[in-house]
Structure 1
Amino acid sequence: MKIGIYGSSFDPVTNVHLWTASTIAHRCKLDKVIFLPCSSKRQDKHMQTTDAHRIAMLKLAIADNDNFEIDDYEFQQLGWEIATYQTLRHFRTKYVEDDIYFIMGADLLVDIGQGKWQKSEELVKENKFIVMARINIDMLSVIGRSPILRHVDDGQTFHLVDKGLTMEISSTYVREEFKLGGEARYLIPESVYAYLKDNHLYR
């Protein structure tokens, strides 16, 4: 099987997250997309709501898609041990017979190429990536300018995807709308919208 690991805060999950996962699965012929919510224990993240709420919203959002799954692996780890390098090693061990791809945006590719991620060199040497285009980022140029990236660019390590439609609505935008009493109803799944209202989140 071909499996995509889609890591994000999902704080909250939005329709763009779901559309992205579906588009990537279709374009890259993935058999499964695993949504990997970041743990609030991560040293490089600051969540706006609890892990339990984010998992609950994800479950509601993907309930009708058999090709989508959730894995709370990072929630079970000690905070100082959580890193994408360790997480992907776990999934390669868990799905040893399958092809594993880490799904990320081009902005994260820039950070890895600059060595900002823990074990950046080992990360790109040992894994494969599906990289989504971002506005004003030339992905080929990012790879070419980075010694870390260009020396592993064998045509298989990085699968560069331009979704063909600019949809950059972020979780931050949704949170801001809720906080200010705005309207974000059709930016998130209806079930998630109801959950947010019922639990008075982001207000």
Structure 2
Amino acid sequence: MKKVGILGGTFDPPHLGHLFIAQEVQYKLELDEVWFIPAYEAPHKRKSRTDAVLRLEMVEAAIAENPYFRMESIEVDRLGKSYTFDTMELLQEMHPDTAFHFIIGADLVESLHTWHRIDDLVDKLTFVGVGRPGYELMTTYPVTYVDIPELEISSSMIRERVKQGAPVHYLVSGAVFDIIKEQKLYAER
């Protein structure tokens, strides 16, 4: 059976923290691949101001050099709010011989009790929790913990730095930086 990690999010923008988490979990759990799944609209966040097509382009650019990474546009193609349960149901229909490992940060581990159809979801996949500064990996739901060095990088921090004119070169890949610059993303409007 193929073992695939899923890393979902708005990826507005995708940053080196996302790539590092995916690499560490792939390596430590011996996953065949990690699929990045940008949300069209995350149910727990404000709607992204960055167009979904641009976010897909940034994810593709960010992961291009890693043969274990691929992007899956299923949530953007579907439009609307992206609920993990619905996405995983579709992915399991499309890939019945795949065991999915859903990678989440400690902030999401702590909020699993609020997820749509969480009791059904834990039967469909393995949650993989990784540390995040300021959070504990605490939940009553089954989670496989992977210990990785914590990087304090967030998409919101990168957007704020761009808005202020601060450098972000070593927080995002060069290809993502080029897209941010070319498209004038996150700058004061």
Q: What TM-score do you get using the length of structure 2 for normalisation?
A: 0.91
Partner of 1:202: 186
Residue 182 of structure 1: how far off its partner (Å)? 0.9
Q: Distance in 2 between matches of 1:125 and 1:110?
A: 18
Residue 69 of structure 1 pairs with residue 70 of structure 2: yes
Q: Distance in 1 between matches of 2:78 and 2:91?
A: 14
Is the 8 Å Cα contact of residues 43 and 79 (structure 1) preserved in structure 2?
no
Structure 2 counterparts to residues 115-130 of structure 1, below 5 A? 115-130=113-128
Q: Which runs of 5+ in 2 are unaligned?
A: none
Count the aligned residue pairs: 185
Q: Distance in 1 between matches of 2:17 and 2:174?
A: 13
Partner of 1:110: 110
3-state SS in 2 of match to 1:79: coil
Residue 134 of structure 1: how far off its partner (Å)? 2.5
Query: Of 158, 161, 166, which residue of structure 2 is paired with 1:182?
Result: 166
Is the 8 Å Cα contact of residues 14 and 187 (structure 1) preserved in structure 2?
yes
Paired residue type of 1:18: L
Runs of 4+ in 1 over 4 A off after TM superposition: none
Q: Which runs of 5+ in 1 are unaligned?
A: none
Structure 2 counterparts to residues 16-31 of structure 1, below 5 A? 16-31=17-32
Q: Distance in 1 between matches of 2:19 and 2:136?
A: 24
Please provide the CA RMSD for this pair: 1.5
Q: Distance in 2 between matches of 1:196 and 1:138?
A: 32
Compare the two structures and name the one with the higher helix fraction: 1
Measured against aligned partners, the alpha-carbon deviations of 1:46-67 in whole angstroms (never above 9, x if no partner) come to 2131101111111111111121
Is the 8 Å Cα contact of residues 88 and 124 (structure 2) preserved in structure 1?
no
Query: Of 115, 128, 145, which residue of structure 2 is paired with 1:160?
Result: 145
Partner of 2:176: 192
Q: What TM-score do you get using the length of structure 1 for normalisation?
A: 0.85
Q: Distance in 2 between matches of 1:30 and 1:126?
A: 17
Measured against aligned partners, the alpha-carbon deviations of 1:84-133 in whole angstroms (never above 9, x if no partner) come to 11111111222211211111112112111xx3111121112332111112
Structure ID, larger Rg? 1
Paired residue type of 1:75: V
Q: Give % identity.
A: 30
Q: Distance in 2 between matches of 1:93 and 1:133?
A: 31
Q: Distance in 1 between matches of 2:24 and 2:161?
A: 26
Residue 78 of structure 1: how far off its partner (Å)? 4.5
